[in-house]
Amino acid sequence: MRRFLVVGHGANTDGDFRLDDLPGTGGRMDIIAMSVSSALFLSHELRKEVEVWLVLMGGAPHTLKIIGSEARYLFPDERNIAGMIRTNLLRHREGKRETPGIYVSDMDFREAVESASEDSEIFYLKEGGKDIRSANISGNSTFVLGDNKDLTPEEEEMVEKIGARKIGLGKKSLHTYQAIVVANYELDRREESGTGAP
């Protein structure tokens, strides 16, 4: 299992953002939506072995889990994904069931990382980390990424405390959704050559 845990530091958690203003009223929900698309979508299908956990913190913290093997009615465009996020935040608030493959909770960053560490090894994707090409990555893995901002020093301390290893994707600073594409590519190549985890 491959999991991407993306922190949306300013991402709207009330579900009252406008789909035509994801960067503004959404609190950079554009980055979050593009990250989901990059993590889960192949050309004609969803990646069934991938999960995305979105830790949204531009309000009372909420964590949305999107499970590739279970998700339905999800399309790769930013607006559709942001709409699904909004719908599920609102359903959670109203005490209604989420749409298939999406689970909303009130977990904050610490709780989400601790929960992810129960069934996977945690890797912190960070410029300057150990090159992903030479890193030992096997078994269930969670890759933690910032949004337009890196993790705060407090968040870094939390991931370090649970033993996360820093992994780098080259010297250039990428957008979150670009970093996910590169990580998926590198991990796919390792898997195809039989040297790494899915």
Ligand X SMILES: C[S@@+](CC[C@H](N)C(=O)[O-])C[C@H]1O[C@@H](n2cnc3c(N)ncnc32)[C@H](O)[C@@H]1O
Give residues in contact with ligand X (CB under 6 A): 125-127, 129, 145-146, 148-150, 168-170, 172-176, 179
- What's the rounded Cα separation, in Å, for the pair 187 and 197? 7
Shortest spacing between CB 159 and ligand X, in angstroms: 11
Nearer to ligand X, 149 or 189 (CB): 149
Shortest spacing between CB 143 and ligand X, in angstroms: 8
Residue nearest to ligand X (CB): 146
Nearer to ligand X, 17 or 143 (CB): 143
- What's the rounded Cα separation, in Å, for the pair 23 and 5? 20
Beta bridge partners of 59: none
Per-residue b or e along 151-162, where b marks 16 or more CB atoms closer than 10 Å to that residue's CB: beeebbebbeee
Nearer to ligand X, 41 or 143 (CB): 143
Look up tokens 């989901």; give the residue: 36
Shortest spacing between CB 59 and ligand X, in angstroms: 21
- What's the rounded Cα separation, in Å, for the pair 52 and 84? 14
